[in-house]
Structures are given as structure tokens and as C-alpha cells.
Structure 1
């Protein structure tokens, strides 16, 4: 699923063939992984339009197999993409053109073999003739939907459907209704109407929910009692640092974290307002470079709220995967219960902190 993004260009010409590899290397193509996935829309007449970005498929997940299939039976093709740079795979639901008509055709061979591979199907619509071939493979480790899906636009029916079987037999069916699933069996003079119910694919999880699945700790649960070290190398238990009756903002960070260097001065700026509303700030560094480097980082940025080293303990008790992401902040109530979790640093994060600085303890 990797291709050049150098604009719309007609395939097959000599310049395209000679310059193709140079162009995609210039645009960041890599044989070492993290190649960008691409999706191109066939405009007809050997022209394609790059719709990678608008489709959501454009990423560095390094796709290695793609399946086009009508997973939800709504009459258009969705995309299932396997990835190399992760354990999960991706399903892209096609919600474009839901008002348009379609015709979904299943094939069963007799003389040509039951799966009917190699069969050519042509469908006549008001816009022209559409042609598809049923194949047993569709690229690397992939096979598309065995049903052939044709878009009919606003047509109420296909003018005709022609099937050319590998055995050499040709069949033709007139005035086939749209928005239907049919099965054509080699040698039979009529097709079968199939009942294939449309259903709703699950909506993607909100980003916040995806983010929370990567943590062992949950909102509404006690914050773990971590083992931490002061900048003077004194080992402590986190619970001994939390004063009963106070709320806390516990912020995980590191000296190598660029967003942290922006967030921490904002926390320092808001610290007095937090304190006025019974909220104390505690910073937990995930650094392993030693306290002197951490001290220098804090001094350069004027950070005065308490900071402790907690790398091994925090990673073990807070993160559910090998992915350690910071900054990461927890709002803890007077009883040590997690009430909010905020990941990353953005304008939304700052606004959330501003609201917190104006808040009163919940009753």
C-alpha cells in the first residue's frame, strides 16, 4: 500500500516507469519499515486520485496486506489493513455515498469450478459498463470479498449483467434490480435473490478510551502506592507524601520529554492557585539519568513544587504495555482515588488545568 504522492499521473508512460522509484524514495519511502500507506481512487482512463489523507489510511503503520470487502453489507467496499509496526490491525469503514445504489453478485461455477475464479462479470449502467474479475488472491497475503460489488449510482436497476465463465460459457441477465444481492450459478437461466442483512460495524473507541486501555490504573480506583526517591536519594513511599484531606495533581514527566518542558512551567505558574483550592502538585520523574540531571532541569525552568524519581515503580504499576507516554497527569481526591487522567500536552490540557485551578473540592 505504498505509492508516490507526486500528484495525479497517468500510469504506464515511460517517464512514470523510469522516475517512479526515485520519486517515492524522495518522499520518504523506506524498505526498513514505517512506509506510509496509500489509497488511490480510480478516476477512469488510467488516472488515479490520491485520497490517502482524507480516507484516514495515510499513516506510517507500514501496511503489508489489504482486503477490500463489504464487511457491513451496506453496498460499498470497506478496507481491512494489516500492519507491521504494531500488534493491531485496522478496519476502515466506508461511509461515503450511502444513498447510492449497488448490486452484489455471488458466483458458483459448475464446469468452471465451484469458486468460479477467473470469471468475468460485466454490468451495464447508465454511466457505462463496469467490469470485474473474480480472483483467488488480491496482493500479499490477502483475498478480497468473494462477492463482486458494483456501484450503480442513482440507477434503479442494472440494464444487464453479463457473465463470462472460464469454461467459455456466457450468460446474460436483463434488468437486474439495484440494492440487491444475487447468486448466479453457471448454466442456470435465472439468478437467485439472496438475503444479506445490513448491520452496523462498531464505532471506533474515542481517543480518550483508547488511551485509558494502555494504563493499568483506572478512574475511580486508588492511585498505586509507588516507591519513589527524593532528589537527595532518600527512598520513600508515595502514600507517606500524600497529606490526608488534600487533593493532588500527580504529574509523570522526564527531562527528555519536549512537551513536559512546556507543561511544567505552566504547572508551576498555576501552583499557587491550585494550593488555594486544596490541590498540591507532585512531579514524578521517569528519568534514569540520576538526580543531578533532574535538578539542573528543574532549576533552569524554575520548578519549585516537589519532584521525586519513580521510573521503575511507576512504569511497573501504571503502564499496561511497553509504550511509556508522557506527560501524564492524575487528579487524586482526598481519599487517594483517581478522579481524572490527562495524557499529553495541548491547549485542551492547559484549559483543563485552568478549570481545575478554579475548582472547589467535590462535596
Structure 2
């Protein structure tokens, strides 16, 4: 961690000092508590390195908890690209995992883990740049909420970088815990550095912000149920 310009080694205290042997990795907020969790795609084609893929839950930014077994995501096949997204539009992030390696005997079906859901709220944000790039890459987002515990701020940066074999979303999905309302959303655009502020945004919704436009657009999304059918 960066402590006033001086870096301190906190891997052991944070629960991150275990050699997990990952090849792919990505970040997402599985319980919408505002803290990014980590999923690791582990292993290699050698059976001696056959280890479960790993889920680490971010405990309020203080440490990481290994919830692989309780979450049911400890797949043994070699892990590659990982994507977090609300695939079924029900308000929580699911996990898509590309599995298997480059050898013919290492091929395997990909996996989609559906999130069972939590009681926390969220907001999904899509940016449209005009002076900035179309996708708003490089923009900074701040969501300010009100709750019984007071006011909280949630920060995200919009980027194009992910891990090996993965890709970020075209929208930014932000968990906002037990927020009672969204006080304000601030967007700082990359080209101009200008910050726009928006209010009266509903909880548990997807909204689109266009650079230099003072209004926002609510985007309707229909949730659906994914089912497994035998071939």
C-alpha cells in the first residue's frame, strides 16, 4: 500500500501471500459492497499444478478472504480469461471463465457462474464521449450516496485494461451497499478534464451519460433467467 509516498508490504496482513499460481485474473464486486473482489484462473497443463481456481473476497478494503469453497467457484480446470458482468441483468455481477489450455488434451468447456444475489444496491453507468473517446476510456466516476450510516463515496476509473484473455465492460457496474439514495454522480472526462455532476438518479438502475449533455438517460434492461439444457 502507498502510505504518504512510501510503500509498505502488507501481503501477509491482507491475506495475499499465498502462491496461487494464476494465469488469468480479474476484479469485480460480487456482493455490491463497493469493494472489488478478485477471481484467479490458476494452474497450467501439468497435472502437478492442478489447483482450484480461487475467489478472494475484499473485506472492506482491509483484507481478503478466500471464499472459493463457500462460493462454489473452485473449478479444477486450467483458468484463463475472466470477465465480471451482470449477464442476466438482475443487479449483481456474474463470472464468465474461459477454461482449458493450448494443448489438445487440455481443452475444456467454459464456465458461467451465476450470482445468487445479495441485498445491496447498485448503479450501472454507460459513458458516451463527444470530445473524449466514444467509450469514455480514462474517465473517472464518483458516486455519492446517502444511507443510515451517513454519506459514502464510491470511485471507479473507466479503462480498457484487463488481465490475460479478459476484457472490461462497456459499462461500469458499481455496488453501493445499503444506500438509501444516490445524492450525486460526478463524471470527469479525460479529454477536457471537465467534471459534470448529476442528481436525482434512481437506485438499482442503468444510466447513460453523454459528455457535455446536462441530462442523463435511463436505460431499460429486462432481466432473464439462464437455464441449462442437455444436448
**TM-score scaled by length of structure 2:** 0.73
Which of 121, 133, 138 in structure 2 is aligned with 1:101? Answer: 121
* In structure 2, C-alpha distance between the alignment counterparts of 1:15 and 1:149, rounded to whole Å: 29
* In structure 1, C-alpha distance between the alignment counterparts of 2:60 and 2:121, rounded to whole Å: 20
What is the match of residue 5 of structure 2?
none
* In structure 1, C-alpha distance between the alignment counterparts of 2:84 and 2:11, rounded to whole Å: 30
Query: SS of the residue aligned with 2:209?
Result: strand
Query: RMSD of aligned C-alpha atoms?
Result: 2.6
What is the match of residue 203 of structure 2?
178
Query: SS of the residue aligned with 2:165?
Result: coil
Matches within 5 A, 1:174-213: 174-202=199-227, 204=228
Show structure 1 runs of 5+ residues with no match: 1-10, 214-363
After TM superposition, where is structure 1 displaced by more than 4 Å over at least 4 residues in a row?
14-17
Count residues with an aligned counterpart.
Answer: 190
Greater Rg over alpha carbons, structure:
1
> What's the offset of the Cα at 1:50?
1.2
The answer on 1:146 being equivalent to 2:170 is: yes
* In structure 2, C-alpha distance between the alignment counterparts of 1:151 and 1:89, rounded to whole Å: 26
* In structure 2, C-alpha distance between the alignment counterparts of 1:153 and 1:20, rounded to whole Å: 28
* In structure 2, C-alpha distance between the alignment counterparts of 1:111 and 1:53, rounded to whole Å: 47
Q: Decide whether aligned partners of structure 1 residues 37 and 14 sit closer, same or farther in structure 2, where only a CA change above 3 A counts.
A: closer
CA deviation string 1:24-82 (max 9, x = no partner): 47xxx855352321111112234111111111111211211100011011111100001
The answer on 1:134 being equivalent to 2:191 is: no
Indicate the structure with greater strand content. Answer: 2
Query: SS of the residue aligned with 2:97?
Result: strand
Q: Decide whether aligned partners of structure 1 residues 113 and 38 sit closer, same or farther in structure 2, where only a CA change above 3 A counts.
A: same
Is the 1:75–1:179 contact (alpha carbons within 8 Å) kept by the matching residues of 2? yes
Query: SS of the residue aligned with 1:177?
Result: coil
* In structure 2, C-alpha distance between the alignment counterparts of 1:181 and 1:136, rounded to whole Å: 20
Query: SS of the residue aligned with 1:54?
Result: helix
What is the match of residue 92 of structure 1?
113
Indicate the structure with greater helix content. Answer: 1
Q: Decide whether aligned partners of structure 1 residues 12 and 199 sit closer, same or farther in structure 2, where only a CA change above 3 A counts.
A: farther
Query: SS of the residue aligned with 1:104?
Result: strand
Q: Decide whether aligned partners of structure 1 residues 165 and 54 sit closer, same or farther in structure 2, where only a CA change above 3 A counts.
A: same
What is the match of residue 10 of structure 2?
13
The answer on 1:157 being equivalent to 2:181 is: yes
> What's the offset of the Cα at 1:200?
1.2
Is the 2:43–2:79 contact (alpha carbons within 8 Å) kept by the matching residues of 1? no
* In structure 2, C-alpha distance between the alignment counterparts of 1:77 and 1:196, rounded to whole Å: 15
Is the 1:70–1:145 contact (alpha carbons within 8 Å) kept by the matching residues of 2? no
* In structure 1, C-alpha distance between the alignment counterparts of 2:222 and 2:185, rounded to whole Å: 23
> What's the offset of the Cα at 1:86?
3.5
> What's the offset of the Cα at 1:191?
0.7
What is the match of residue 130 of structure 2?
110
Show structure 2 runs of 5+ residues with no match: 1-7, 22-41, 101-105
The answer on 1:59 being equivalent to 2:89 is: no
* In structure 2, C-alpha distance between the alignment counterparts of 1:135 and 1:199, rounded to whole Å: 28
Query: SS of the residue aligned with 2:132?
Result: coil
* In structure 2, C-alpha distance between the alignment counterparts of 1:15 and 1:73, rounded to whole Å: 36
**TM-score scaled by length of structure 1:** 0.48
